[in-house]
Structure 1
Amino acid sequence: MEFGVFGGLSVEDSDGPHLPTAPKQRQLLGLLLLHANQVMPVRTHVTEIWGGHPPPSAATTLQTYVMQLRRLLASMPSVGSRAAAHDRLRTTGQGYLVVVRPDELDLLRFERFVEQADRAAGDDAAVARLLRAALALWDRPVLADVRTGPVLQAAITHWEQRRLQVHETYLDAQLRLGRHREVLAELAVLTRRHPVHEPLHARYMIALHRTGRIGDALGVASRLGDRLARDLGVAPGPAIGRLTAAIRHGGAVTAASAPPRPSVLPSAPGPRRA
């Protein structure tokens, strides 16, 4: 059995896809999978599906959606019975949880690669390889084809930030390995996607400088300054200023010149291993 939340929602078994078509069932399943192996209270589901103004029948209707998801699970060869479906999608005193093994959900596989990279800290080649494998699982935004309410929106924002943190750690390992040319295209895309993200722009400047493209590196700093002034009314931080000066005047340019960022591989809230 395979579950997916990276890109679109997916549920597959040996006989093909088994995906709910009703929007609110998809919404419910997406919420459960983003918090796999974790009890999600009834009130959280109600807030996600109906917002701040649920109907009086919300809890009963939610039970119906859960029952329909169990029927879908029971139809899958690897589940095969109503009892097994109840074991997969459980009702607790406070809410519901879906039980998923680490190898069955792309989000859990992503976290497993990240944890392995964390344990390999100090071996940049291993870190880069493991994080590249993690990032390769993620080709589109989380639950891109699912209608989202306030709870899912917050969870999706968290996971998109998580992906960016992991990508930054991967890029740092690549830069320490001297693979500056190899990351230029990725950094060009990321800085366009995050036009006021100073640490990403600093990495792009460093990679350009180390491949001999001094003018392009200074151009990145100039565009960043213009965008920060226009969008936020602020100037780049001192780290960007020091990096720009070092590039302009031929000083030492290292990864340490980049603006600091938070610790990259914290344990992520959300899915737990079964």
Structure 2
Amino acid sequence: MTEFDIVELKDVLREQRTSSGMTQGELSRLSGVSVRTIRHIEHGQVERPRRESVRRLLAAFESPARNPLAVDVLGPLVVHRGGGVVVISSPQQRCLVGLLALHVNRFVSQSEIVEVLWAGTPPATYRELLYSMVSRLRRRLGSGAVETLSCGYRLDIDPERVDLCRFAEQAARARGSGDPHAFAEALGLWRGPVLADLPEALRQHPSAASLQQQRIATALAFADLTFAGCGDDVLPWLAELVGGEPWHEELHARLILSLARSGRQVDAILAFQRIRDRLDHDLGLLPGPALRYAYESVLRQEVPMPRTAFSLLHDGRGLQT
């Protein structure tokens, strides 16, 4: 390849990589060029990239491995290969892909698969049915996509190509850096509840429930960062979450404070009344310290709330009963 203008190169590289559905890590593995170099080229920070590096980067787009499998579970199940969506019409096949994707690159036992697919009461021919199901998935996803051992099955996939792994990495980066944009990017990976279009046995799976708790914890940390005066409005993330968490007091408390912080004091009071009535009607409980603290802060017009307020509640130094 002839000399490349750095502006042209960064645009060409980024365009080809994104249109191919590749991450920088995947391009690095296919080309042998470091992720750091790829990142610097795409940001126009390399004045004279090595000709051999440019050749290997562009050759990687012609590699047979350029269309890797990708699976999204943070919302309805979506399976991609390259730039297109892989259609899996069979409900049981979709459940199997979703279950395997929840256990990225780990084997899932046959007993666990049976529990999810047949509620623990499989037909006598379940082994043959499962074998046939996996065979059809391999034809659809690629011959090496589903690996078999005597104990079960594993989805062989780059973790960077599974949105739950990207979320975990981005959420950890956000907590470590305190960067509000990192929090927003992490929460922005969610399109709805985990595997929202699949049966309850999968949506309530312990791995799915754990992901939801990680989502909530990330939203709470983002809210506290926002209340401390750092970052943009967290209200959209909280408003989306509370619909699926009708009794989560700390989540609703942050929503109440966020509404008040946005100048919506009446909505904040109504939000408190709704969660108070729901706790009473459904669980026979009164609002706990976090909700009461949020409500009284709104009444006293003492928002935004200090970042340490909820930690004080947990330490027993907050609102007294």
TM-score by structure 2 length?
A: 0.66
> Are 2:204 and 1:153 aligned?
yes
Q: Is the 8 A contact 2:227 2:306 kept in 1?
A: no
**Once the 2 structures are TM-superposed, how far is the Cα of residue 67 of structure 1 from its aligned partner?**
1.3
> What is the DSSP-based 3-state SS (H/G/I as helix, E as strand, rest coil) of the residue aligned with 2:75?
coil
Choose which of 277, 280, 283 in structure 2 pairs with 1:232.
283
Return closer, same or farther for 1:187/1:20 CA change in 2, 3 Å cut-off: closer
Partner in structure 1 of residue 111 of structure 2: 43
TM-score by structure 1 length?
A: 0.75
Q: Is the 8 A contact 2:279 2:285 kept in 1?
A: yes
Return closer, same or farther for 1:250/1:18 CA change in 2, 3 Å cut-off: closer
**Once the 2 structures are TM-superposed, how far is the Cα of residue 32 of structure 1 from its aligned partner?**
0.7
Greater relative CO (CA pairs within 8 A, separation 6+): 1
Distance in 1 separating the partners of 2:107 and 2:99:
11
Letter in 2 for 1:199: E
Letter in 1 for 2:151: Q
Return closer, same or farther for 1:15/1:202 CA change in 2, 3 Å cut-off: closer
Q: Is the 8 A contact 1:116 1:130 kept in 2?
A: yes
**Once the 2 structures are TM-superposed, how far is the Cα of residue 209 of structure 1 from its aligned partner?**
4.4
Choose which of 153, 161, 164 in structure 2 pairs with 1:107.
164
Return closer, same or farther for 1:97/1:176 CA change in 2, 3 Å cut-off: same
Letter in 1 for 2:125: S
Partner in structure 2 of residue 166 of structure 1: 218
**Once the 2 structures are TM-superposed, how far is the Cα of residue 113 of structure 1 from its aligned partner?**
0.6
Distance in 2 separating the partners of 1:245 and 1:169:
21
Q: Is the 8 A contact 2:234 2:258 kept in 1?
A: yes
> Are 2:118 and 1:19 aligned?
no
Partner in structure 2 of residue 176 of structure 1: 228
Q: CA RMSD in A?
A: 2.8
> Are 2:210 and 1:142 aligned?
no
Aligned residue pairs: how many?
243
What is the CA deviation profile of residues 10-49 of structure 1, one whole-angstrom value per residue up to 9, with x for unaligned ones? 2222363323222211111111111110110111111111
Distance in 2 separating the partners of 1:113 and 1:236:
33
Identity %: 32
**Once the 2 structures are TM-superposed, how far is the Cα of residue 199 of structure 1 from its aligned partner?**
1.1
What is the CA deviation profile of residues 116-148 of structure 1, one whole-angstrom value per residue up to 9, with x for unaligned ones? 22332xxx3x1x2112111111112322333x2
Choose which of 239, 242, 254 in structure 2 pairs with 1:203.
254
What is the CA deviation profile of residues 52-95 of structure 1, one whole-angstrom value per residue up to 9, with x for unaligned ones? 22112112221111111112223xxxxxxxxxx23x32112311
> What is the DSSP-based 3-state SS (H/G/I as helix, E as strand, rest coil) of the residue aligned with 1:103?
helix
Partner in structure 1 of residue 181 of structure 2: 129
**Once the 2 structures are TM-superposed, how far is the Cα of residue 183 of structure 1 from its aligned partner?**
3.1
> What is the DSSP-based 3-state SS (H/G/I as helix, E as strand, rest coil) of the residue aligned with 1:137?
coil
**Once the 2 structures are TM-superposed, how far is the Cα of residue 196 of structure 1 from its aligned partner?**
2.9
Partner in structure 1 of residue 49 of structure 2: none
Moved more, 48-57 or 209-218: 209-218
Quick check: which has more Rg, 1 or 2?
2
Distance in 1 separating the partners of 2:135 and 2:229:
52
**Once the 2 structures are TM-superposed, how far is the Cα of residue 214 of structure 1 from its aligned partner?**
4.9
Q: Is the 8 A contact 2:160 2:166 kept in 1?
A: yes
Partner in structure 2 of residue 96 of structure 1: 153
Distance in 1 separating the partners of 2:77 and 2:260:
41
Choose which of 217, 221, 226 in structure 1 pairs with 2:272.
221
> What is the DSSP-based 3-state SS (H/G/I as helix, E as strand, rest coil) of the residue aligned with 2:279?
helix
